[in-house]
Structure 1
Amino acid sequence: MSSNFAFDAIDLATKDRDHLIHPWVDLGTVKEREPLIVAQAEGAYVYNVHGKKLLDGIGGMWCVNAGYGRDEIADAMAAQARRMAYFSPFGQIGNPPAIEFAHRLTQHTPGDLKHVFFTTGGSTAVDSALRFVSFFNNFHGRPKKKHIITREYAYHGSTYLTASVSGKPADRGNMDLETGFIHHLPAPNPYRRPEGMTMEAFCDAKVKDLEDKILELGPDNVACFIAEPLLASGGVIVPPEGYQKRTREVCRQYDVIYISDEVVTGFGRLGHIFASKNVFDIEPDIITSAKGLTSGYVPLGAMIVSDRLYSTLTDKAGRGQIFANGYTYSAHPVSCAAGMANLDIFEREDICGHVRKVGPYFREQLGTLIDLDMVGDVRGSHFMVCVECTADKEKKTVPPAEWEVGRRIFEKCQEKGLLARPMGHLVVLSPPLIVNRGQIDDAVSILRQSIVEVTGDLAREGLRK
């Protein structure tokens, strides 16, 4: 890789603070803190504007699954842009990359999920799925089936509807959200289960939460249940074994559509293109995907619908009925060309096989951090893992916000050459899926050193005993 760091870092930082509004930024400190400006990337590493090399422990945003610097993806994008950068997707107008990519995706989907609606990212994929459910029920004369069941600590997007369906407490401040027909169940977080409760009993209780809510609302009023197989941005919450399959069965029993949100867990992060069937033994009615769909090289999302649902809307029954949902950049030809090149890499290099082989080592090595005094839990699967810090390990108490544990650990890691994702008192690692054991060892070592140093700093400042 040729490096070019002829940047004026001070000028860029000034312009950043003066003009660029960042997602999820602390507005009280945005004018004071130095922004991290990433200028270049290759493989599993990124380089900041000063030329410092950092192991990307977060995979961009759960998404750079095939790694950086893949000429094959860039070349496919450039070739398609030269051939035809864009044409309207509205009505029955297609383009070759979108048609071919939809076909190829359905070779990997479980069961009868054979119909692909392309969007611009994860939020719009989930929004489209929820709107499809509403359309479906209205189409079939069931206008009362409007209620959506979701979970606390879920994350499903940033549109008005998907943000309302999300359940992370930190994301809900100062935001107006829909509450009339959206219902949040308690998160299926084994770490927070009642003292003395077995995992089996906890699973029973969480499945019962769903059934009880359906019965409380009335099955004729419940449209869908939406669930990430593992709750990603809510803290990599891993439900108890069997939970996904049993909640799917409850939904089928009461005629409730099951949406599996695989925006994060899809495209290899758990060792399969889609995890729903291969990992959790479920065949959802709808799967949503984004992020790893193009390995983050260009925005793209997808809602994938079962034939069981879609076939009832077509032919004579659907004449004159319009699914009035879509985006200017739905099925964008450049994005779909990138997606196909990305899938080529996955299939040729067997990236999913690599994840299945090396992912358990990643989880196991991070699990060694549990011996640290401030680490209360290490959880996750394959290449998505969360370290939860506590104020009191025995009592599992959450550190006060003023400790800024996650931010402090992030800054220590960055100094040592690792990017980790802070979320309050949590630290998440979700690297590109191409990382090797040596890189994993480096990441775990840096994270361990950083947690130890932050623990010492807090003690010296009198914040922690």
Structure 2
Amino acid sequence: MTQPGNSPASRDIAYHLHPYTNLKTHETAGPLIIASGKGVTVTDESGKEYIEGVAGLWCTSLGFDEPRLVEAAIRQMRTLPFYHAFAHKSHEPAIDLAEQLIALAPVPMSKVFFACSGSEANDTAVKLVWYYNNALGRPQKKKIIARQKAYHGVTVAAASLTGLPNCHRDFDLPISGILHTDCPHYYRYGEPGESEEAFATRLADNLEALILREGPETVAAFIAEPVMGAGGVILPPETYFAKVQAVLAKYDVLLIADEVICGYGRTGNMWGSQTYGLKPDILTSAKALTSAYLPLSAVLVSDPIYRACVDESAKIGTFGHGYTYSGHPVSCAVALETLNIYEERDIVGHVRALAPTLQRGLRSFRDHPLVGEVRGIGLIGGIELVADKATKQAFDPSLAVGAKLVGFSHQHGAILRPIGDTIGFSPPLIIQSEEVEALLFRFEKALADTADWLVREGVKIG
């Protein structure tokens, strides 16, 4: 084979298989190579600086150069760089972190199981639901309901829960026993003249109808993100979760709260469950747990689920689930320091104080001819681009308008996230007011560039 050049870009194309990337395009377009980071900015190999408007992948909550997290990792590396939690083994970082997470939980929880990613956490939640119902002698009660446009990861079970077609296509997913109900996006799926509350009622009724069609004795759990992230930053309509939880309680269906994006302050509370009144039986989290400095995820389970697992493991002889890196001591040490910083610096209070600046700034674009809807809460937001504001007509997907805008934003020194034609904002939680204003200004320039490009392409807008 032809040897690649020595540049990072040529070696990347030669050897690196990228996630969530058009692999054919990548062979010619190549990567944007990030060389360093400081605060809310990152710098590429040429020295160009960008405001990281999505905190990496919704995750780098404390920015890109927090020395306390680095030092926490070094200290733990020197003391105990690895140990596992199999077969009655443990170590203090995992014990301390589990204790803190139980204390922080939005509802009473009993135990914490550690994994390495949000996908693994949600896979674990699926297995726990199945194990729980087997322990209770309900082998038929196994189906799990997720939602269209949900994102729960890309391992086999988690990708099946995910309600995005490209996570299923040609991977032979979803697996059996995974169902999907309505996406709660009022702007896109509300009927003419239908109020948000009426929309929420209709979706709850549809959920109940699905459970009845399948048979309540076969439906085990419902999984939901408080705010849907990779599906387009979709906020629940008014009264939605109250109505949904009433249905779940009626048919003895567990609630899994996927807090992978929302957890640790993003919505203006420690948990999105607190923001929207969820009372989960299982809660999954990751990302901002370590400010993404090291891989770690956590699954919090209620006492009834834990007790059933105890009984079943006694019958079988073991609880046959776990990962080599479950509760890795270095990751746990970094997570503990992350939680300490959240408390000491009142990061949740900072989010609440700064959220109006971001949300007002995003909403200032509502009248732009390309903008169909602006949505957000806390320090997360989405701007949906449309071809026609009056009819909500979307652009032809082949135009890839969202990706084009994000390309323009790179030119202006901002990294944003295209979710189809919705532009996602989720900056590090430490961002300051002037940095929010700078991010919005750079987005505004990219939006103007996108409008000019569409005009040159002969695409009618407005």
Residue 216 in 1 paired to residue 213 in 2?
A: yes
Residue in structure 2 matched with residue 27 of structure 1 by the alignment: 23
Q: Quick one: distance in 2 between partners of 1:25 and 1:88?
A: 34
Residue in structure 2 matched with residue 6 of structure 1 by the alignment: none
Residue in structure 2 matched with residue 268 of structure 1 by the alignment: 265
Residue in structure 1 matched with residue 296 of structure 2 by the alignment: 300
Matches within 5 A, 1:188-207: 188-192=184-188, 193-207=190-204
The SS at the match of 2:50 is strand
Q: 1:135, 1:323 within 8 Å by CA — same for their partners in 2?
A: no
Q: 1:112, 1:308 within 8 Å by CA — same for their partners in 2?
A: no
| CA offsets 1:387-429 (integer angstroms, 9 cap, x no match) | 1111111111111122121121111111111111112211101
Distance 1:160 1:382, change over 3 A: same
| CA offsets 1:276-329 (integer angstroms, 9 cap, x no match) | 1x2112221000000000000000001100113213443698454532111110
Q: Percent identity?
A: 37
Which of 418, 433, 453 pairs up with 1:422?
418
Matches within 5 A, 1:7-22: 11-22=7-18
Q: Quick one: distance in 2 between partners of 1:335 and 1:10?
A: 33
Residue 160 in 1 paired to residue 156 in 2?
A: yes
| CA offsets 1:59-105 (integer angstroms, 9 cap, x no match) | 01000011121111111111111111112221221111000000011
RMSD: 1.5
The SS at the match of 1:68 is coil
Which of 346, 349, 355 pairs up with 2:345?
349
Q: 1:403, 1:463 within 8 Å by CA — same for their partners in 2?
A: no
Q: Quick one: distance in 1 between partners of 2:235 and 2:444?
A: 22
Q: Quick one: distance in 1 between partners of 2:7 and 2:308?
A: 58
Which of 432, 435, 441 pairs up with 1:436?
432
Q: Quick one: distance in 2 between partners of 1:313 and 1:19?
A: 43
The SS at the match of 1:41 is strand
Report the Cα offset of residue 453 of structure 1.
1.3
| CA offsets 1:192-223 (integer angstroms, 9 cap, x no match) | 11122111110101111211111111111101
Residue in structure 2 matched with residue 118 of structure 1 by the alignment: 114
Q: 2:201, 2:243 within 8 Å by CA — same for their partners in 1?
A: no
Could you state the TM-score of these two structures normalised by the residue count of structure 1? 0.95
Which of 312, 318, 338 pairs up with 1:322?
318
Q: Quick one: distance in 2 between partners of 1:401 and 1:338?
A: 41
Q: Quick one: distance in 2 between partners of 1:350 and 1:255?
A: 37
Distance 1:246 1:69, change over 3 A: same
* Aligned AA (1:407): A
Q: Quick one: distance in 1 between partners of 2:31 and 2:457?
A: 25
Q: 1:118, 1:302 within 8 Å by CA — same for their partners in 2?
A: yes
Q: 2:154, 2:167 within 8 Å by CA — same for their partners in 1?
A: no
* Aligned AA (2:226): P
| CA offsets 1:417-465 (integer angstroms, 9 cap, x no match) | 1111112211101000011111111111111121121111111121335
Residue 226 in 1 paired to residue 199 in 2?
A: no
Q: Quick one: distance in 1 between partners of 2:153 and 2:317?
A: 28
Q: 1:226, 1:258 within 8 Å by CA — same for their partners in 2?
A: yes
Does 169-178 or 143-152 show the bigger shift? 169-178
Unaligned runs of 5+ residues in structure 1 are: 1-8
Residue 395 in 1 paired to residue 391 in 2?
A: yes
Q: Quick one: distance in 1 between partners of 2:102 and 2:15?
A: 42
The SS at the match of 1:30 is helix
How many residue pairs match? The answer is 456
Does 303-312 or 129-138 show the bigger shift? 303-312
Distance 1:400 1:112, change over 3 A: same
Residue in structure 1 matched with residue 251 of structure 2 by the alignment: 254
Q: Quick one: distance in 2 between partners of 1:244 and 1:235?
A: 18
Report the Cα offset of residue 330 of structure 1.
0.4
Q: 2:185, 2:236 within 8 Å by CA — same for their partners in 1?
A: yes
Q: Quick one: distance in 2 between partners of 1:365 and 1:316?
A: 53
Residue in structure 2 matched with residue 238 of structure 1 by the alignment: 235
* Aligned AA (2:287): K
Residue in structure 2 matched with residue 360 of structure 1 by the alignment: 356
The SS at the match of 2:223 is strand
Q: Quick one: distance in 1 between partners of 2:241 and 2:366?
A: 27
The SS at the match of 2:376 is strand
The SS at the match of 2:231 is coil
Which of 312, 331, 334 pairs up with 2:330?
334
Report the Cα offset of residue 10 of structure 1.
7.0
Q: Quick one: distance in 1 between partners of 2:23 and 2:307?
A: 48
* Aligned AA (1:229): P
The SS at the match of 2:23 is coil
* Aligned AA (2:244): T
* Aligned AA (1:291): K
Could you state the TM-score of these two structures normalised by the residue count of structure 2? 0.96
* Aligned AA (1:212): A
Residue in structure 2 matched with residue 5 of structure 1 by the alignment: none
The SS at the match of 2:7 is helix
Residue in structure 2 matched with residue 81 of structure 1 by the alignment: 77
Residue in structure 1 matched with residue 402 of structure 2 by the alignment: 406
The SS at the match of 1:448 is helix
* Aligned AA (1:57): G
Q: 1:264, 1:290 within 8 Å by CA — same for their partners in 2?
A: yes
Residue in structure 2 matched with residue 449 of structure 1 by the alignment: 445
| CA offsets 1:156-178 (integer angstroms, 9 cap, x no match) | 01101110110012333322113
